[in-house]
Chains A and B, each alone.
Chain A
């Protein structure tokens, strides 16, 4: 039986009831800021911004002079990472006002844009911020069906990070070569995941950091469910599961069937479980993003992959490895599983499939922006995302990573600016960023709608394998079944496959 109430009507009724209750309780009007009579009676136009607590504070500090010069006021809503995503998704789903401008994770673009929650970016704004300068991999995270709905702020990707000083040590290298038959490379680190595993094993169980304690291990990764496990696992799996001749990774573009339990993913998980159980610090199968960074920056592991390994390693407050680290694109593999043929294909030159993990925070203008604040809001986002502003953000300790061609050339600013990377590290960092963002076989993060549910399903299955509750194949069978069930619920396998194709720019 089908009810006459649509989902949106239902949610509006609930929202209306809640609003009425709030009005009764507070006996105060709760109209959206800057709207109606309230805005008419005030002289200053108020711009409301919803974003992450830390990043938002930096945005506020950066934008306040502009705001004051123009006679506006800025009100900033500050949220934790997951809280912000939840707030945005709920405001979108219930069609309620959250802010004029919001920072949101680009993975949520299908959910947010499709719900009609965003303004399309006007051409004059795109021209004002020199949109042509933005790397194509990032442009994809801002677009939907050929239209631009968000502006770039952050080029989030996973960087492979390793201890260049250890790899350059002749004595260590000679012992390593005796065991594994190849040299440690201080220039590239591990080129394949096989090499990564060898390095993991070699650097575990002896006092290479010379602090007198057996607290040295091969690697640390983000493995905690509910934290950043999704990105930790996918970065480890793409090289095996993303074939260069096939655009798809998560689900099949023709059938919509989940691929998460194919041999490529199973191999990645099997190896990852072994690595995290044997060659990571104690508790390594339940590490948060911060735990893995701390292990690397604390000089306890020889390698990791992370978003902020580069910038956080330079700070004397958080790192004992300043200047000792090298960076590269994520390792690749000679063997890649071909989902179409059902066989492993061999590549003479390792195939890389760098993961655009998270895809970055983007800046968007709400469809519910008040008319009175319209010009102010577009002025705000233009100033915030123009090339000079972007460079200021990515070369400071803001958590934002480079995303423009021009930023990739700005070695000097990264080397001697607030980040103080030094020329060699800056070069490594920018090369890895460009190679990842520009890579023809790069994997776009899941963004085809319902990403929170898919993420939770994968994290549950993988964490079961990490805890030895299930063998990797069984765990991933559960994940694949859950993916298919979610796809059915979200409109059907074919529907999700079509959305996936759109997120890939097809």
Chain B
């Protein structure tokens, strides 16, 4: 018995194949550009870290593979460890301060009913100013030791002027003050957004159950704003580790080496000094430290928030 041929609908219609092809056509250039712009420099930098590549060496010197020599030199380099210490001190000085200021102001703003938008816009403004401009106007002018307004005010009240830029301790304080001024706004805005995401009925329910304001804050507000807080903290910690602009403008890393950060040292070594090999090893060291720190931070944060 002859049977009529049965027509089955195709599982992969033509138009779907074309659609996939188009996806690839559009995707490949973007991926290629990203690979070239991101992966190639990153890999070349990694390669450079294992060579003696130097930009400004006179003569016909071949680039040699030197193994871990740059990293060994890094570990025994007192100057580098000084910059690492400065960077950690800077980070520990600015990030907790910004968190405290950010949380305090965000809580205050969250409770006001009028003018909140105005304040929000106002607090955005420091973020829009270039760090170089901030360092010059806020830093070099306000903290000018001789004729700067801060010392002028101190002297008018009978105090001694503070050696803002020539004392190792005060120079670090001045840098921290500038960073806190500029980036506290970021914490304020992030935490305000987090606070506004806390459902008000939870607080009302807690009040009905007899919780006081402090208890409600610790048991309801803090856990609910924790994810955004931890993200904001991570962003600020990474930024603080990479600080460079304000230091270049305000102190140049001085007095002595008291305020030189790791990133500034990398710039001086690799870009200005032409020692691409050692500069690359410093850059990779910073990258590895940040990756380890970031990873550990995320794991610990998740555990603390009970998600692991």
A7: interface (CB < 8 Å):
yes
A20: interface (CB < 8 Å):
yes
B165: interface (CB < 8 Å):
yes
CB atoms of B37 and A25 under 8 A apart: yes
CB atoms of B59 and A495 under 8 A apart: yes
How many residues from A make CB contacts under 8 Å with B? 55
A469 to B61, CA, bound (A): 37
Closest Cβ of chain B to A278, distance in Å, is 13
Interface code A47-62, partner B: CB below 8 Å = 1, 0 otherwise? 0000000000000000
Closest Cβ of chain A to B246, distance in Å, is 13
B32: interface (CB < 8 Å):
yes
Q: Which candidate, A148-156, A175-183, A200-208, A445-453, is the interface stretch facing chain B? A: A445-453
CB atoms of A6 and B254 under 8 A apart: no
Closest Cβ of chain B to A13, distance in Å, is 8
Closest Cβ of chain A to B59, distance in Å, is 5
A28: interface (CB < 8 Å):
no
Residues of chain B within 8 A of A1, CB atoms compared: 64-65
- A452-B168 contact in complex given A21-B37, A490-B58, C-beta closer than 8 Å: no
B271: interface (CB < 8 Å):
yes
Q: Which candidate, A222-230, A251-259, A262-270, A434-442, is the interface stretch facing chain B? A: A222-230
- Chain A, interface SS category: helix
Q: Which candidate, B18-26, B85-93, B177-185, B255-263, is the interface stretch facing chain A? A: B255-263
A17 to B274, CA, bound (A): 19
Interface code A201-221, partner B: CB below 8 Å = 1, 0 otherwise? 000000000000001000000
B222: interface (CB < 8 Å):
no
- A93-B258 contact in complex given A6-B62, A282-B146, A469-B168, C-beta closer than 8 Å: no
- A7-B57 contact in complex given A93-B274, A286-B254, C-beta closer than 8 Å: yes
Closest Cβ of chain A to B43, distance in Å, is 10
Q: Which candidate, B47-55, B104-112, B199-207, B212-220, is the interface stretch facing chain A? A: B47-55
Residues of chain B within 8 A of A90, CB atoms compared: 55
CB atoms of A283 and B165 under 8 A apart: yes
> Using a CB-CB cutoff of 8 Å, which residues 29-45 of chain B contact chain A?
29, 32-33, 36-37, 40-41, 44
CB atoms of B252 and A224 under 8 A apart: yes
Residues of chain A within 8 A of B302, CB atoms compared: none
How many residues from B make CB contacts under 8 Å with A? 50
CB atoms of A226 and B252 under 8 A apart: yes
A147: interface (CB < 8 Å):
no
A30: interface (CB < 8 Å):
no
CB atoms of A2 and B62 under 8 A apart: yes
Choice from B56, B144, B165, B256 contacting A450 with Cβ under 8 Å: B56
A227 to B255, CA, bound (A): 12
Residues of chain A within 8 A of B53, CB atoms compared: 7, 10
CB atoms of A14 and B44 under 8 A apart: yes
B245: interface (CB < 8 Å):
no
A491 to B54, CA, bound (A): 11
A38 to B57, CA, bound (A): 35
A2 to B258, CA, bound (A): 39
A25 to B58, CA, bound (A): 34
> Using a CB-CB cutoff of 8 Å, which residues 1-40 of chain A contact chain B?
1-3, 5-7, 10-11, 13-14, 17-18, 20-21, 24-25
Residues of chain B within 8 A of A89, CB atoms compared: 55-56, 274
> Using a CB-CB cutoff of 8 Å, which residues 250-304 of chain B contact chain A?
251-258, 268, 271-275
B231: interface (CB < 8 Å):
no
CB atoms of A463 and B64 under 8 A apart: no
CB atoms of A467 and B255 under 8 A apart: yes
CB atoms of A224 and B58 under 8 A apart: no
B161: interface (CB < 8 Å):
yes
Residues of chain B within 8 A of A285, CB atoms compared: 166, 255
Residues of chain A within 8 A of B56, CB atoms compared: 89, 93, 111, 449-450, 452-453, 490
- A452-B272 contact in complex given A7-B62, A460-B257, C-beta closer than 8 Å: yes
Closest 4 A/B residue pairs (Cβ)? A467-B255, A226-B252, A283-B145, A464-B256
Binding site for B on A (CB under 8 A): 1-3, 5-7, 10-11, 13-14, 17-18, 20-21, 24-25, 82, 86, 89-90, 93-94, 110-111, 114-115, 215, 224-227, 281-286, 449-450, 452-453, 456, 460, 463-467, 469-470, 489-491, 495, 499
Known: A282-B161, A449-B56, A464-B257; 13 extra A-B contacts, CB below 8 A, are A10-B53, A14-B41, A21-B36, A25-B33, A90-B55, A111-B58, A215-B146, A227-B252, A282-B146, A463-B255, A467-B166, A489-B57, A491-B61
12 interchain pairs, CB-CB under 8 A: A3-B51, A17-B36, A24-B29, A93-B55, A225-B255, A225-B256, A281-B146, A453-B275, A456-B273, A467-B166, A467-B168, A469-B168
